[in-house]
Structure 1
Amino acid sequence: MLETTTGRRTVVRTGLILAGAMVVPGAVATAQRLTQAALKPASQPPLPMVAARPLTSPRVVRPELFRRALAALDAHRGRVADHDRIAIADFAAASAEKRLHLVDLANGTSQSFLVAHGAGSDPSHTGWLHRFSNDAGSNASCEGAFVTQDYYVGKHGRSQRLVGLDATNDNALARAIVVHAAWYSNPDMIRTHGMLGRSQGCFAVGESDLDEVFRRLGSGRMIYAAKV
């Protein structure tokens, strides 16, 4: 009983790191908002009441990248509403690898997905990200911490807005850097081409993965993108 009580207190203390309300800039374009029913989101699951244990990097996330993601979560705690789960985009990996890791910080489990990088980050289409850019018109991926916002229907279908929290990605909202699905991020691209296609800087996931990515991300959680 003492061990369980300690775990509950640890989870509660972890949840109290939110320092303020998330800043929500205005939308960059007028778009039809999706209803909850249309997106089929799952309700946010309660944090499991488990015994406290050291927070270690999930097996699929490299320790240094995980350390930096946690440091970013702490640095931006006042603008990230929910700290139970984070997404980590490991852009040191090739696009043929599942490199978007959604990590549950309460129990250490994770699920990984394919995700494309921007054409401006890989002009020769090698399957590897070579550079980041925060510039409008660069069509490149940008690095740093993002906070997820609302869902909408745009030119890529169902999408989720992102706000960049660092100097390296603070143009993300203006550039319409979002999470969306794309045919060029489907697994059959790897079978036929050995790599995914490229986005215009967005986090483009496979079409069959979008519902699960949206369900796990929700609004007010952090995505951390880096090449470490």
Structure 2
Amino acid sequence: MNLITKFSVTAATFLTLAACSGQDYSNAEKLTDDPETEQTLPKPEMTDQTADVADVEAEDTAMVEVNANASDSAAILQKYDHLDPKRLINTKALAEAVLYFEKNQSRFKNKKYISLIDFGKRSTQARFFIVNMSSGEVMAIHTAHGKGSDSNHDGYAEKFSNKSGSNASSLGYYRAAETYYGKHGLSLKLDGLSSTNSNARARAVVIHGASYVRESSVIQGRSWGCPAVANNLRDKVVGLLKGGSLIYAFAN
């Protein structure tokens, strides 16, 4: 089944697959939240680590919206038919990300990887998907969502916000920018490219490692809005995505 066909699979089919997955997280362990105060970003400095992407902040962040006709979309999706051979990612979201990536390629300096974060999944599940654009293989890992998105800490993100002080996760397209060292160590700044996440940099929504995220089927601790990952995967994730790769956060 190619990507074009997979894109046409109905929502009912996805619901059936989820219901038949046989995974029961009702008694999942619950990790504690981020024990630190909400972070702020350091003032940008020109270093060897950031020199290759220092111009990211100076770019116009207005992106081309995906508005291709059916035939154009089909041709683009065919080009990326090799992605996600194990069908780990929501097919509709993957197609949306691919179309957006194709239309805005000049804005993404790191074209080796695109990532999708499925906030429609419970935090007990691996829902941060890093896609190798050459091989098509997918690295699926766990990630946190914001306290403001999950008021009762049941692992489900129920609401999203772009407002400072909301402590919530934001949906939309991001560009992974430059790295820095903060209170969580190596971290990766994000530029929000959608109206729903345009304040990401101002809110210090970044990718960082966290003790409250674990690579297992537990209810992950809640962040201040950052898609935090397990500490043992931090360097790998940041290394793959830094320098201008596309990240798409969605919830279906």
Q: 69-78 vs 214-223, which deviates more?
A: 69-78
Counterpart pick for 1:198 among 219, 222, 235:
222
The equivalent residue for 2:65 is: none
Q: 1:54 to 1:222 in 2, by over 3 A?
A: closer
Alpha-carbon distance in 2 for matches of 1:109, 1:217: 15
* 1:140 equivalent among 161, 168, 191: 168
Q: For structure 1, which runs of at least 5 residues remain unmatched after alignment? A: 1-26, 37-51
Alignment CA distance shift 1:123-1:33 (3 Å): farther
Amino acid at match of 2:91: P
Cα deviation, 1:86-109, whole Å, max 9, x if unaligned, reads: 011011111011111100122211
- Structure 2 residue corresponding to 1:209, chosen from 233, 246, 249: 233
Q: Helix, strand or coil: the match of 1:78?
A: helix
Of the three residues 134, 138, 162, the one matched with 1:110 is 138
Residue 224 (structure 1) aligns with: 248
1:67 matched to which residue of 2?
Answer: 95
Counterpart in the other structure of 1:177: 205
Q: Identify the residue that residue 85 of structure 1 maps to in structure 2.
A: 113
Question: Which 5+ residue runs of structure 2 have no aligned equivalent?
Answer: 1-39, 50-77
Residues 174 and 246 in structure 2, CA contact (< 8 A), matched pair in contact too: yes
Determine whether 1:55 maps to 2:81: yes
Alignment match, 1:47:
none
CA displacement at 1:57 relative to structure 2? 4.5
Q: Distance in 2 between matches of 1:28 and 1:204?
A: 15
**Which residue identity is paired with 1:209?**
L
Q: Would the aligned equivalents of 1:95 and 1:196 in 2 still touch at CA under 8 Å?
A: yes
How far is 1:149 from its partner? 1.0
* Deviation readout 1:61-117 (Å, 9 max, x if unpaired): 121110111122234333222323101101111101111110012221111111001
Query: Secondary structure in 1 aligned to 2:196?
Result: coil
Residues 6-85 of structure 1 correspond to what in structure 2 (within 5 A)?
Answer: 28-30=41-43, 55-58=81-84, 59-85=87-113
| Cα distance in 2, alignment partners of residues 96 and 34 from structure 1 | 37
State the alpha-carbon separation in 2 of the partners of residues 101 and 196 from structure 1.
17
Q: Which one-letter code corresponds to 2:230 in the other structure?
A: G
TM-score normalised according to structure 1 size: 0.74
The match for 2:26 is none
Where 1:203 maps in the other structure, the secondary structure is coil
**How far, CA to CA, are the matches of 2:249 and 2:182 in structure 1?**
23
Counterparts of 2:240 and 2:206, CA distance in 1: 15
Give TM-score, length-normalised by structure 2. 0.67
Per the alignment, do residues 54 and 166 of structure 1 end up closer, same or farther by CA in structure 2, a change over 3 Å counting?
closer
DSSP-derived class of the 2:117 partner: strand
Q: Pick from 157, 163, 167 the counterpart of residue 185 of structure 2.
A: 157
Cα distance in 2 for residues equivalent to 1:208 and 1:54: 30
Distance 1:70 1:211 in 2: 25
Equivalent residue number for residue 21 of structure 1: none
Query: Where do 4+ consecutive residues of structure 1 move more than 4 Å?
Result: 31-36
